[in-house]
Structure 1
Amino acid sequence: MPARLLLIRHGQTPGNVAQVFRGLESAQEPLDDTGHAQAKVLGAALVRLNLPRPRLYASPYLRAQQTGQHLSDVLGLPLHTLEGVHEIFTGDWMGRPYSAMQTHAHEMTAPDGQFGYPGGESLAQVGERFHSALVSLNPQDGKTLLVVSHGAALVSVMARLLGRDVRTAWLSGEFAHANTAVTELLWNGEGQPTVLRLADASHLPDQALRF
């Protein structure tokens, strides 16, 4: 039986509001007040799902850990750190606005020659490391795996899982996740998963909480 896999973006941070790329120091960026509120609302929504055999994981970055801790508290689950699902390294684009992804997409070539960040990672690299991390969880036997990750990382792994061109997926916004949005899949670690819902943020009824 395939696992029920919930991929979750962390709550809002000051960097999300500023709309500027940060370097590796962003690993220690915390949630802001809105981000904490978003995570609490998500936790209440997940409780109502009565998830079977849940296990909770988060990226090692602080904003994912804080989001995961809110879920841990309300679900009564231990929070495990999962390596490989952290955010993309933006390299030479540190300090540039998010809008440069649209206006200067022609410059986005990573050192491996693929679509990504000069001096940083390609989205394909991120998708591969994220996919390997998910496989390591042995997604079978009807477990529910909750994984708190990051915006670009989620786009990357969704393109990898569904066999989509990652550049097209990135530029179209097809897999873009608002803060604390949830994608739910059925997957056994092989082949393409079944998508049950994609980037769902319906647990945030207040539009002011959506960033």
Structure 2
Amino acid sequence: MRLILIRHGQTPSNVAHLLDTAVPGPGLTELGHEQAAALPEVLADEDIDAIYVSTLVRTHLTAAPLAAARGLQPLVRDGLREVAAGDLEMRSDEDAVHTYLTTLFGWSQGDLELRMPGGENGVEALGRFDAVVDEAAASGAGSVAMVSHGAAIRAWVAARAVNVDVEWAAEHALSNTGVVILEGSPTDGWKALTWEGNAVELPEADVDSGPAGQPVHDQAGR
């Protein structure tokens, strides 16, 4: 199966660099709506049999133009929601962002019992994302798009893709409406084909996209 993971468009909390993970969450900024509107063209060459979204409003708004263009009804799954920030919710300070990112990449490295302060552990967070991917694979779809969140996508890809290790994923950003494409299956494993169009190097982001999408080392003043 071809798995197309899409981060949602820019939100006001991204601009403010807030760890905003609760449901239903904010909508999109004007730029976020423009990013969402561009997705049908960005993915014009991709066959898409189904579109999944999380329970957060921003993924619904991001998916809407793509779903309309393909004549598909998005499937809402809680498993695709953002990694819950717990006690770090709505913080933007360097310590909070560092704790958030190092915890979730700890899960990707195999420390699944590590728990986000006041939040979920790796078994719970990766397990719920796995469940949605498993469901999509079991449906027989050849290509599926999932609109999810920066931290959830980065942690899951680092944990499941055979060619993306934790160090690489931790040091590479994922912009709003950034796309990661993988191929594989839950039984055979996953290989990342592209990350924002390039599986090795990423362009510098031109706009703020919030703490969930930034490199681990780039947290001063956030």
TM exceeding 0.5: yes
Which of 19, 22, 34 is 1:21 aligned to? 19
Higher alpha-carbon deviation: 51-60 or 33-42: 51-60
Structure 1 Cα separation of the partners of residues 143 and 129 of structure 2:
17
Q: Determine what percentage of the aligned residue pairs are the same residue.
A: 28
- What residue ranges of structure 1 are gaps of 5+ in the alignment? none
1:108/1:118 contact within 8 Å kept? no
Mark the CA change 1:29 to 1:102 in structure 2 (over 3 Å): closer, same or farther. closer
1:37 and 2:34 are equivalent in the alignment? yes
Q: Deviations over 1:136-190 (max 9, x none)?
A: 1125756110000001111221122136776x566x334x411001111111221
Q: Which amino acid aligns with 1:4?
A: R
Q: Which amino acid aligns with 1:185?
A: L
Query: Contact 1:131/1:160 (CA < 8 Å) preserved in 2?
Result: no
Alpha-carbon distance between aligned partners in 2 of 1:55 and 1:152, rounded to the nearest angstrom? 22
Distance 2:151 2:190 in 1: 19
User: What RMSD over aligned residues (CA atoms) do the two structures have, in Å?
Assistant: 3.3
Give yes or no for the alignment of 1:9 onto 2:4.
no
Q: Counterparts of 1:106-185 in structure 2 under 5 Å?
A: 108=103, 114-138=113-137, 143-162=142-161, 168=167, 172-174=170-172, 176-185=173-182
Pairing partner for 1:84 from 79, 84, 87:
79
Take 1:189 and 1:100, find their aligned partners in 2: how far apart are those partners? 35
Distance 1:53 1:148 in 2: 13
**Match for residue 189 of structure 1?**
186
Deviation, 1:73, is: 1.6
Instruction: Determine the C-alpha separation between the residues in 2 that align with 1:107 and 1:188.
Output: 27
TM-score by length of structure 2 reads 0.75
Count of aligned pairs between the two proteins: 199
Tell me how far 1:106 sits from its aligned partner: 10
Contact (CA 8 Å) 1:134, 1:189: kept in 2 or not?
A: yes
Query: 1:16 Cα shift?
Result: 0.4
1:59-78 to 2 correspondences below 5 Å: 59-78=54-73
2:51 to 47, 52, 56: 56
Unpaired stretches in structure 2, ≥5 consecutive residues:
210-222
Question: Against the structure 1 CA distance between its residues 125 and 29, is the aligned structure 2 distance closer, same or farther, given a 3 Å change threshold?
Answer: same
Structure 1 pair 100–116 and aligned structure 2 pair: CA distance change class (3 A): farther
